[in-house]
Amino acid sequence: MMSHMRRKLALFIFLLTVALAPLSAMADDAAAKSYDGRLDNYPQTVTLDNSGTALTYFLFVGLGLIGLGALFKNARRSHLD
């Protein structure tokens, strides 16, 4: 009986952790960061634009290539390879 209760508790904690994980990953994009422009010889402080999504696309392409590589793996390979 106690083992069944522990499993339920562990499942509840796992589901709660998974459900609340996106809350800790939220970013505050509304606040623009101000950098000291004097380091780059600007007369006043400057603000940099938000970054793009190119790095994410490169990551997706790389993961896609890894996934496609598994599709074309030889099925007759032995464990000795």
The predicted model scores a pTM of: 0.35
* Joined tokens for residue 43: 């007369």
pLDDT at 74 over 80: no
Euclidean distance between the first and final Cα of the chain, in Å? 47
Let me know: does 32 contact 21? Beta carbons within 8 Å.
Answer: no
What is the mean pLDDT of the segment spanning 55-77? 86
Contacts of 38 (CB under 8 A, 6+ apart): 45
Let me know: does 47 contact 35? Beta carbons within 8 Å.
Answer: yes
pLDDT at 59 over 60: yes
Torsion of CA 52, 57, 59, 62, to 10 degrees: -150
pLDDT in tens, 7-37: 889 999 999 998 888 777 766 655 556 666 6
Scan for tokens 């509304």, then name that residue.
30
